[in-house]
Every structure is written in C-alpha cells, then in structure tokens.
Structure 1
Amino acid sequence: MRHLIIAPWLLLAASGLSACASFSPDGGMTAVSDVTQRTIGKDVAFVRSADEAATVDAAVKPLLARSLTADAAVQVALLNNKGLQAAYNELALAETDLVADSLPPNPTFSISRISGNGASEVERQVVGDILALATLPARSEIARERFRQAQLRAALATLRLAAEVRRAWFAAVAANETVALLTDAKTTAESTAQLAKKLGETGAMNKLDQAREQVFYAEITTDLASIRQNAASSRERLARLMGLWGGDLGFRIPGKLPALPRRPLDQPSIEIAAVGHRVDLQIARMELVALAKSLDLTEATRFVTLLDIAGIDRRTRDPETTPFRERGFDVQFQIPIFDGGEVRVRQAAETYRQAVNRLTEKAINVRSEARDAYRTYRSTYDIASHYQREVLPLRQIITEEMQLRFSSMQVDVFALLTEARQRLTSLRGAIDAKRDFWLAQSDLQTAINGGGSEGTPSTPSATASAAQPAAGGAH
C-alpha cells in the first residue's frame, strides 16, 4: 500500500516518532575518540567553529615549539590535518542520513475546487506513505547500522593518518642521521683527496692511487647531495601530513633515531589480536549485518508495493439541489504477472552473499597480514640488534687497532682511510636497519588495529630506502 488517507491517530503517531529523531551534540565523534584513545592513545577534534579552531591551535603550538617526537607528530596531525577533518565531515553527513531515515514520511494535503453553471465541487485529500511508515522501525535500524559504520570509517581514517605520520617521521629522522654521517665522511674524503693530490705532485703517489682517493670524494659528495634532497622531501611529507604551512614549517625533529628496545614484543596470538581489533574488519561485519536486515525488509515488502490506495473526501454544492458530501477511496491493483518482487529479493540475496564472501576474504587477509607483519618486525629487530651488538663494536675495534698501527708506523695513512670507508658503510647499514625496525613496528600496530593503505610495501624499507644511494660504493 503506497498511499492512503491518514487518520488523526496516524498523524499523532507520526508526530511522536518525529520528535524522537535528532542530531547528536558531538556529531558521532565520541565513538571515533574512543577508538583512537584505545588503540593509539591520542586525542582527536572535529573543528566546526572559530572557537574550536583556536582551541586546536593552542594545543598544537606547544608541541611544535619543542623537538617533535613521533608521538607528538602524530598528535599534531590528528588535530591539524584538513583531510582528516574532511573525513569527519563525511561522518556528519552520515548522521544527516540517519536522522532523515529515522523520520516518518511527511503527509501530503491537497485541495481542489471546480465550479461552473452555479455548481461547485470541493475535494480534499490527506495522503501519506503507509509503506514507509510501516517499515520505519526496520529502516531506522538499518540507518543506525550505516551510521555506526561511518563512525568506524572515520576512526579508520584517523588510524591511517597516524600510521602514515609515524612512518614519515622515522624516514625523516633517519635521513637526518645519514646526512650528518655523510657530512663528516665528506670532510674526511676532501682532506684525503687534497693530500693525495699533493703527494702526486711530489711523485710519492702514482696516478692510480690519486684517482681512487679523488673518486671516493666525488662519490661521497654525490651521495650527500642525494641524501640531503631525500631528507628535505621526507621533511616536506611530514609537514604535509601534519597540515603545517607558513611559520609552522620551522618545526624541529631529532637528528638521530631512538635506540632499539631492550627486547622485541612477544605476540604469540597475533592473528587473534588482529581479527579482534581490526577496524576495517569491524566495518565489514557491520556491513553484513545491515545487508541482512535489508534482505529481511526486501522480502517482507516484495508484494506490498503492488497495491496503491488513496482516500477521497468530496463536497458538492448545486443551487438546484441540497449540498451533499461524498466519501470513498480509489484502489489500484498491479497484477504481478511479470515481476512479483523476485528481482529485488534476488538482488538483495546476492548482495548479501557477496558481502559474506568479502568478509571471509578480509578475515583471511587480516590473519596473513598480521603474521607477515610480526615476522618482518622480528627479523628487522634481529638485524638492527646484530648491527648494534656485533658489527659496530667490531668495526670500532678495527678502527682503534688501525690507529694504533698507524701511530707505530706499521700502516700508512691510506690503509687507515680504506678502513674508514668500510666503517662508513657499516654505519649507514646500521642506520638503515634501525629505521627499518621502527617502520616495521609501526606496520605491526597497523596490522593489529587497522589503518594501513592499499599498496603498502611488503618490506618496511622498500619506500624509505628507494631514494637513498648505495652506501659508500665498492671501496
């Protein structure tokens, strides 16, 4: 039944239902804030007024006044990134859909008057969508499920931004550390090249050895220029993610990466943790629930749409007769010969089965991503720890021994410089290994909580090291 004259009790019922629908004071942000606090321990803010913007600015300025840690950079981005604010606007728009779907249909009143030859006819109709009113509870519940999905999508956008900022911060700090290392190496290489040139002029060094020293200086100069550009680009990416411009671009970040933790995290139930906490998996589950309710509603109303009824109230005045009043109704039947609603039901059922398959696929992928992220985390920790415990201490011993032998004139200055080049390669490898570990730790948290982006490299160093030249060449 699509249209029917609305009785007074029906109008009262509609008025009572409409009074229950309203907008929430926070626009649904409480759920987003709860998820963010529980997973990464950070604050979020939905800025919709000048006062709220001033509050956010007052919270961001002290963070930028100090050297930014990874956590501080994430907090600045969550408060200041305009793309994230646009995601929160999407949540606010989703709430408008919730309120709209929770309201009963507005009744339609129509009146017509026809007169001629002294006679007149007045017809009044009050028409309402009975089907929409009858299915209002079910549609409202589906709308609430959709709104909860929108809240989780906003939370997922928050987690994704936090993960991107954390990765950008580690990449930028690692680039700064490498710049400092290569700057010192360039100074040493320049002194060596000048010494080689002077020895060559006196005949104490042949052309081959001179060329070797000079090419090392040339290569280290090129490497330094490249890594400086990489450091500048990494810093700009971090600034973009934090939503900074103008005077705020003078923020400071550390010159060295944090030290490795004393021991790696132990995650024996990594798959269970991921399946239980992944926000994108929760969204897929809620999508399945909403589709199931939509399927039930489609099946329940498959035949109801085939019947239209409209009530009529007509009053006729004729000067030759006594005025009289007519009441009745108009019924139209649609004969379900070709379509009895099976198409809509089949579409709803197939959409539901599609969601089941996608949810199952996502659950399988989440488990795999969690296992892979933990294996990467452990391997990068072992590699970085190996550099710190074995490679660098041995390199230090070699350096000290070479200096002692040089002091006792057992080796010449060029043997000492050759060892310095090899030590430079080890130091750069240690920086890269430490960076890869911190990136892997970020990816591990993302694999558990959600927030990863499509196309994330399988190894944490894939993007961070792409712009960096090889360490020191084959000297």
Structure 2
Amino acid sequence: MGRRGGAGTIIAIATVGLFLGGCATFSKDGGMTLVADQTGAIVGTAALKIRNEADAAAAHARVTALIATPLTVNKAVEIALLNNRALQAAYNELGVSETELVEASLPPAPSFSLVHLTGAELEIERQVTQNILALLTLPRRRAIAEDRFKVAQARAVQATLSTAWEARRAYYRAVAAAQTVTFLEQSRISAEAVSELAKKLGETGAMPKLEQAREHAFYAEVVGELATARLRQRSEREALNRALGLWGSDLTYRLPNKLPPLPSSPRTMADVETQAVTTRVDIQIARMELAALAKEYGLTHATRFINTLEASGVDRNEIRQGERTPRSGYGLTFEIPIYDFGETKTRRAEETYLRAVNLLIDKSVNARADARQAYQAYRGSYDIARYYEKTVLPLRDTISEQTLLNYNGMLSDLFGLLTDSRDRIAANQRAIEAKRDFWIAEADLHAATTGGGGLSGGPSGQTQANAQSE
C-alpha cells in the first residue's frame, strides 16, 4: 500500500501538470500574418519574414526586378521591407517572443532524484518533486505571456512602419538632390558659354575687364554650387542605399529626374489628434503593456504570502540483514516571507504599474502634439511649394525674359543680367527644396498618425524664410 501511495503521488503530480499545461505549440506563421495585414493596409506593401535560403533568394529576385526600372517611392518602400536586415532582426524578435509564449504555456518540469546509501544497511530512495505554485499560477502566467506576444507583434508592426517612412523620406531627399544637380548642371553649361563669349569679346576689346570678371565670377560661383550639390547628392543617395539595404551591384539603380508633382489639393484632417491617439502603434503598445502589467500585478498580489510551494513523492527501500522494508510518502516544501510578508514585491509591482500609467498618458499627450505639428508642417509646406510653383517661378521666368530683351536691346547692362541669373538659380533651388519638404512632411504626417518613428523636423527654416522674403 505504501509503495502504491508514493507512486500514486508521482502519477497525480504528473497528471496535474499535463492537464494544466495543455498542448503548447508554435504557430505556423510565427505571428507574422497579423503584422503583414496591418502593415499592408497602411503602407500598401505587406511585411515578409525571410526564414530560409529560398525566401532570401525570392526576396533578392524581387529586389532585382524592382531596381531594373527607375525607382518610384512605392518601389523603394517595397525594397526596404524586403531587404532591410534590421527589420528582419525585428521579425526575429517576434519569433523569440513566441518561444517565450510557448515556454510560459508549459508546466514546470518535475525534478527527479535517486539516493543510494551503503554501510551497515542499504538505503535506496527515489523522489520526484513538482512546483505546485507554478502549476497553479500557470493559466495566469500564460495569459501574461500572450499579452507580451501581442506587444511583440505590435512592435514588429512599428518597426515595419518606421522602415517604410524612413525609406520614403530618404527617397525624396535623394531625388531632390539629383534634381538640383541636374538644374545646376544646365546652369553651368549656360554660364560656361557666356564666360567663353566674354573672354573672346575681351580679347577683341569689345568687353571691358570688369564685365569679363563678372561673367567669369558668375561661372565660378555656379561651378562651386554644383560641386556642393553633387556632394549632397552622393550623401543623400548613400542614405537611401542604407534605408533600402542595398549594396554591391544593386547600387546601380536609377532615380527619376525630378520629384513627383504636387497633389491638386492637400489632405484635410478634421480631428488629427483623435486619429493619432486611436491608431498610433506606439500608443497601442503602451496600452497592451499596461494590461500585461495589470495581470502581473494581480499575480504578484495573489502570491505575496507564499513564494515557493513544492510537492514531492518519495519511495524508500531499506535493506537490513537481508530484509527489505519499503517505505513511501510525500513531502511539502514552502517558503513564507516572514520579514516583509510580500510587501516588497507588491510595492514594486504597484509602482511599476503606476509608472506605466504615467508613461502612457505622457505618450498620448506627445502623440497629440506630434499630430498637430505634423499636420501644420504638411499644410504649410504644401502652401509654400505651391506658392513657388504658381507664383515665384513664373515671375522669375518673366523677369528673365524681359531682362534678356532689355540687354539685347542695350537697355540694361550685364550686371542686371547676372543679377537676374543668380536670382533665378536661387529661386529654382528653393522651389525644389520646398517640394522636397512637402513630400517629407507627408511622410511625417503618416508617421505621426499611424506610428513608426518621430518627425524629421518639417520644412527647413531657410526654405520658409526664403518663401517669406519672396
């Protein structure tokens, strides 16, 4: 009877563990279906996790096909989501979180011990021990792990959005830099032709040295601006390479000659603050973390008086002078925090929860401010870019035409013509920058209302100041 009692205890402990543990397995998609659905709805391109060499080969083939033709902003985003290894590392973090979920869903493994003592008598003891407290709290710990896994999914969405918005910003900066180089190259060719003409006229005595020097100085200034623009172009293209994760032979991709045209009218958002608070991924993450902390606080409060509770089944055989005496039974081990009665753990959990509450409120306030700032920058940069396009550049074209006619009719001197050329170059450069700032502001507005990174800073102060001076 005694041996059956000990074996029965062992079987009972194992049965309880199997009953509470259930069947914990890994999901087929590793949690990526939800990530792909949410990111696809926001950026138009679904997230994809590269799990093996076949996935990597398929992703590289897709990237090769995308860079075969001039890049659009949507192509750039797709390349970034396929090719950015930091983003793939974020998806691996999601896989790690799933392993933690499966691990938290499993019952604690029992420990087995075997004692063999010899001397005047022989004793053999077998013992199995199970953490009963861990078994009893398994459903709660599993629920907490499920919440943590949902947080990991949201973080994967956030990383995807951040990669997408940064790719858009880098794309617009690179295209704007290339457009500026193209424009200045055209200006350099014209300035060089005029400089050469001035040199020949000077050799014949038809143009004074002062006028020649002005032409040569203007040409030198344009060459200097072009060199600066080319340096900026290389820097912005490298930033785009980094955002897209491209290297080697993939760096030969082509960009369009100019930025896309402005939309016919800007977006109108009646309540941008509410949209940001209800849809931003980082706010959702903070809410889910708060829910998980609430469950952890409840678990800590429930176990504050008992830290450890273990049950053991014991079988012992004593052999003395050829006689065998079997013994069996059970044991209980528990630890009681007699010095603080769990107050330390409870207070720590309470303060951790309250800290998360305050951080959530702070994040919500900042999200509202980000949304307002992003929308103001979006509308302001649109108005500035449209003003340059519809007002400043047409006026500059008219001034250039009239100045050239006056110069050809000997009604104005060369100094006026050079001044107009400088102003025209500056106005076109600022128009390119204004349009670039608008498209970056649009990406910032998406980031401010959906999550995935902070603001880039909005339109440059120089662009706004130039617009006001115009």
Same fold at TM > 0.5: yes
Aligned match for 1:42, one of 38, 42, 45? 45
Quickly say closer, same or farther: Cα 1:46–1:194, change in 2 above 3 A: same
Q: Secondary structure at the match of 1:20?
A: coil
Q: Secondary structure at the match of 1:121?
A: strand
| TM-superposed deviation, 1:329 | 4.1
Q: Name the CA distance, whole Å, in 2 between partners of 1:432 and 1:178.
A: 9
Match status 1:286 vs 2:285:
no
Mapped contact 1:95–1:147 kept (Cα < 8 A): yes
Q: Secondary structure at the match of 2:67?
A: helix
* More deviation, 368-377/330-339: 330-339
Quickly say closer, same or farther: Cα 1:174–1:6, change in 2 above 3 A: farther
Q: Name the CA distance, whole Å, in 2 between partners of 1:153 and 1:114.
A: 55
| 1:236 match | 238
Mapped contact 1:5–1:127 kept (Cα < 8 A): no
Deviations 1:58-84 (A, max 9, x none): 322221111100110010110111111
Quickly say closer, same or farther: Cα 1:164–1:335, change in 2 above 3 A: closer
After TM superposition, the runs of 4+ consecutive aligned structure 1 residues lying more than 6 A away are: none
Q: Secondary structure at the match of 2:241?
A: helix
Match status 1:12 vs 2:15:
yes
| 2:426 match | 425
Q: Name the CA distance, whole Å, in 2 between partners of 1:280 and 1:442.
A: 17
Q: Write the letter of the residue equivalent to 1:365.
A: N
Q: Name the CA distance, whole Å, in 2 between partners of 1:96 and 1:332.
A: 30
Q: Write the letter of the residue equivalent to 1:295.
A: Y
Aligned match for 1:188, one of 177, 187, 190? 190
Quickly say closer, same or farther: Cα 1:308–1:339, change in 2 above 3 A: farther
Mapped contact 2:13–2:130 kept (Cα < 8 A): no
Match status 1:394 vs 2:395:
yes
How many pairs were matched up?
459
Deviations 1:174-198 (A, max 9, x none): 0111001111111222223333334
Q: Name the CA distance, whole Å, in 1 between partners of 2:14 and 2:140.
A: 20
| TM-superposed deviation, 1:388 | 1.0
| 1:170 match | 172
| 2:300 match | 298
Mapped contact 1:306–1:336 kept (Cα < 8 A): no
| TM-superposed deviation, 1:259 | 0.6
Q: Secondary structure at the match of 2:458?
A: coil
Q: Name the CA distance, whole Å, in 2 between partners of 1:458 and 1:225.
A: 26
Q: Secondary structure at the match of 1:323?
A: strand
Quickly say closer, same or farther: Cα 1:344–1:266, change in 2 above 3 A: same
Q: TM-score normalised to the size of structure 1?
A: 0.91
Mapped contact 1:6–1:127 kept (Cα < 8 A): no
Aligned match for 1:94, one of 94, 97, 101? 97
Q: Secondary structure at the match of 2:92?
A: helix
| 1:76 match | 79
Aligned residue runs from structure 1 range 19-418, under 5 A: 19-117=22-120, 119-305=121-307, 310-319=312-321, 322-331=323-332, 334=335, 336-412=337-413, 414-418=415-419
Q: Name the CA distance, whole Å, in 2 between partners of 1:335 and 1:458.
A: 56
Q: Write the letter of the residue equivalent to 2:34.
A: A
Q: Write the letter of the residue equivalent to 1:113.
A: H
Deviations 1:342-381 (A, max 9, x none): 1011000000000000000000000000000000000000
Match status 1:458 vs 2:457:
yes
Mapped contact 1:36–1:43 kept (Cα < 8 A): yes
Mapped contact 2:129–2:311 kept (Cα < 8 A): no
Deviations 1:46-66 (A, max 9, x none): 111121122212322221111
Q: Name the CA distance, whole Å, in 2 between partners of 1:241 and 1:217.
A: 36
Deviations 1:201-221 (A, max 9, x none): 455544443333222221211
* More deviation, 363-372/274-283: 274-283
Q: Write the letter of the residue equivalent to 1:121.
A: E
Mapped contact 2:20–2:139 kept (Cα < 8 A): no
| TM-superposed deviation, 1:150 | 0.8
| TM-superposed deviation, 1:111 | 1.9
Mapped contact 1:366–1:447 kept (Cα < 8 A): yes
- Gaps in structure 1 of 5+ consecutive residues: none
| 2:4 match | none
- Gaps in structure 2 of 5+ consecutive residues: 1-6
* More deviation, 107-116/281-290: 107-116
* More deviation, 149-158/417-426: 417-426
Mapped contact 1:370–1:444 kept (Cα < 8 A): yes
| TM-superposed deviation, 1:128 | 0.6
Quickly say closer, same or farther: Cα 1:308–1:128, change in 2 above 3 A: closer
Q: Secondary structure at the match of 2:307?
A: helix
Q: Name the CA distance, whole Å, in 2 between partners of 1:362 and 1:215.
A: 54
| 2:3 match | none
| TM-superposed deviation, 1:98 | 0.9
* Root-mean-square deviation (Å): 2.3
Deviations 1:268-295 (A, max 9, x none): 1101111111111111111100000000
Q: TM-score normalised to the size of structure 2?
A: 0.92
Identical pairs, percent: 49
